Amino acid sequence: MTRHHPVPHPAAAPWHRPRRGATTVAAALLVAACAAPALASPPPPRPAPPAPTATALALVASPATTGAGAHVQRGRGALRSVTPLSRLSRDEVARAIAEHGVDVTSVRHGIATYRFEYATITPTGEPTTASALLTLPDGGGHALSTVAELHGTASHRDEAPSVGDNVTRLGAYLYAAGGRATVAPDYLGLGTSPGTHPYMDTASSVSASLDALRAARTATARLGRALTGEVHVTGFSQGGQVAMGLGRALAHGADRHLRLRTLTPVSGPYDIAGQELPAIFDGRVADGSAVYYLAYFLTAQNRLHHLYDDPREVFRQPYADRMETLFDGEHSSEDVARHLPATVDALLTEEWAARLQHPTGALAEVIARVDGVCEWRPRVPVRLHTAAGDRDVPTGNTASCAAELRRRGVHPEVVQHGDVDHLRGYLGALSDNARWLARQG
C-alpha cells in the first residue's frame, strides 16, 4: 500500500466476517478496522485555510513555548511539527459519516484536520518521535475539551489515522463535528514514527498516547484555539485496551494539565489469558482473525521480550521465514493475510499451540503485562461497548473487564450492540457514544 492510498470502498470490501475456513484475505479486510472501507466519499476536501499565524503552520516547532504548553517543550510531548491536511464542511462530514451507517444527529460543525509529530519514548525508554491526527471543529468555542480516540490493529504504517483516509478517522471526524477537539494517536512504529510497531505493548501505547495529548495542547494553541484539559477517552479493539490503560494513567495523575472526564472503550481485548486465547482455540474467534492476531502478537512481543530464538520454533514453514518481513510496518493487512495460512493449526507448531493454551514463564509474563488494564477504580462515568456477534474480540472480554471494575466498587454501564460483527459493533458504538457525549456538556 502506498501512502494515503485509501482501502477499498464498501462495495469492494463487505463488512461481514468470513466463515471459519474462509480465505485469510477476506478476513484481513476486517481485522480491527485497519483494512476497513475508505472514509471519504464527499466532494474532494478543500485545502486547509491558512492558520492564524505563520508559526502555526511552521513544520518545525520552536524549542520552547511560554504559558501552558511550556512544560512539554523540553522532552516528552514536545511538539515537532504540524501539517494541515484538509477541511470539510458540516454537510461533507455528515455525508461521509452517514455512508457508514453512523448516526449524524450530533454533527454540528465542519472540521479541520492536521497531522502533528511529537517527542515520546520507545518501550525501553529511549527518545523517539510519533505522529497523531488532530481534528478541530470550526465552531464550539475557543476552549475545547478533548476526545482521545485510539485506533484498532494496523500492520501498515499508512493505516494509522494521520496518514490513512479510512475508518480509523471516522471517530475523529464525528467527535470533532460535535464540538470537541479529537486526538487520534498513530502509536509507535505507525504513521510517521520510525521502527516497527510494538503491537499490544500496552505501556508504550499508553505513553505515546499521553505524549500525543501533551503535544496536542501546544499544536492547538498554535492554531489559535485552546484545550481545557478535560479528556474523554475512547478506543476500539486494540484501542479499547489502550483506552483503559490511558484512562488509568490520567486518573492517577500522569499529567497535571490533563483530567480524565469519561471512559468509553469499545470491544477491547482486556483479558488475553482468560478470554481471548481460549476463544482463539475453541473457534469463537474467526480463523482468519485468529491467525493474524497470533502472528502479529508473537512477532512483535518477541522483539521486546525474547520469547524464542528462531521463528521456526513457533511457526510452521513456509510461514516462519516470512514473519519478520510481514510485520515490518510496510505490508497492508490484506497483504499480510495473503501470506498467512487459513487456520491456527497450519500456523503454529504443536509445541507453541500448547504453550499458548497453557502459558508459563516468559510468555505468561508478557500476557500478564498486557492484561490487567481493568484492575483499577475509575471515578468517572464508564461505558463498555461490546457486540454479541463479535468474532474478533468476543464479548467475554468486556464481561471480564466489567467484573474486575465491579470488584473495585465501580458500576460500569455495559452497552450491548447485538449480534453484529467487530466492525459493525464499533459503528454502533460510535453512534451511541457521540449522542451520549453530547449530553455530558
Q: What is the pLDDT of residue 141?
A: 86
Name the one residue in this structure whose C-alpha cell is 478541530: 136
DSSP for 119-134, written as a single string: EEE-TTS-EEEEEEEE
Which candidate, 94, 91, 63, places its Cα nearest to that of 79? 63
Per the CB < 8 A criterion, the answer to whether 394 and 421 are in contact is: no
- Tell me the pTM: 0.86
How many degrees, rounded to 5, is the angle at CA 415 between CA 395 and CA 233?
95
DSSP state of 38: B
Q: State the number of CA atoms in the 13 A half-sphere of 349 facing the CB.
A: 15
Q: What is the pLDDT of residue 6?
A: 35
Rounded Cα–Cα distance for residues 57 and 249 (Å)? 31
> What are the b/e assignments for 396-406, b being 16+ CB within 10 Å?
bbbbbbbebbe
C-alpha cell recorded at residue 110: 465542519
C-alpha cell recorded at residue 118: 511529537
Cβ neighbourhood burial of 41 (10 Å; 0-12, 13-18, 19+) = middle
Q: Are strands 79-88 and 383-386 parallel, antiparallel or unpaired?
A: unpaired
Q: What is the pLDDT of residue 314?
A: 99
DSSP for 307-368, written as a single string: --S-GGGTB-TTTGGGHHHHTSS-S-HHHHHHTS-SSHHHHB-HHHHHHHHS--HHHHHHHH
Rounded Cα–Cα distance for residues 348 and 352 (Å)? 6
In a 3-state reduction of DSSP, which class is residue 181? strand
Give the pLDDT of the chain (441 residues) as one tens digit per residue: 222 333 222 222 222 223 333 333 233 333 434 433 344 433 333 334 333 333 333 333 333 333 333 344 569 999 999 999 999 999 999 999 999 999 999 999 999 999 999 999 999 999 999 999 999 999 888 999 999 999 999 999 999 999 988 889 999 999 999 999 999 999 999 999 999 999 999 999 999 999 999 999 999 999 999 999 999 999 999 999 999 999 999 999 999 999 999 999 999 999 999 999 999 999 999 999 999 999 999 999 999 999 999 999 999 999 999 999 999 999 999 999 999 999 999 999 999 999 999 999 999 999 999 999 999 999 999 999 999 999 999 999 999 999 999 999 999 999 999 999 999 999 999 999 999 999 987
What domains can be seen in the chain, in order of their start residue?
A: 9-441 (3.40.50.1820)
